[in-house]
Amino acid sequence: MAKGKKGPRQAFGLKCSVCGMFNYITQRNKINTPEKLKLRKYCKTCRKPTEHKESSKLK
C-alpha cells in the first residue's frame, strides 16, 4: 500500500488535444522530467493517433 506516500512521482492524465477526452493516466518524475509531456497516442474517440497533452486533473 502506498498510502500517504509522497515523492517526486506524480500521476497525470493525458488528454487528447483534438477532442479533449482523457484517455490515459501516466506518472512522471518531476525531477527527471521537468517539462510537460506531449505524446502521440491513439485516441479511441478520434479513432486515430493524436497529440495528447498532460493535464493534472485525473478525471
Residues that bind Zn ion (CB under 5 A): 16, 18-19, 43, 45-46, 50
Residue with cell 525531477: 31
Read off the amino acid at residue 1. Answer: M
Q: Which is nearer to Zn ion, 28 or 53 (CB)?
A: 53
CB of residue 53 vs Zn ion: minimum separation in angstroms?
11
Q: Which is nearer to Zn ion, 5 or 17 (CB)?
A: 17
Q: Compute the radius of gyration of the chain from its Cα atoms.
A: 13
Q: Which of 29, 30, 50 is nearest to 41 (CA)?
A: 50
Q: Which is nearer to Zn ion, 14 or 43 (CB)?
A: 43
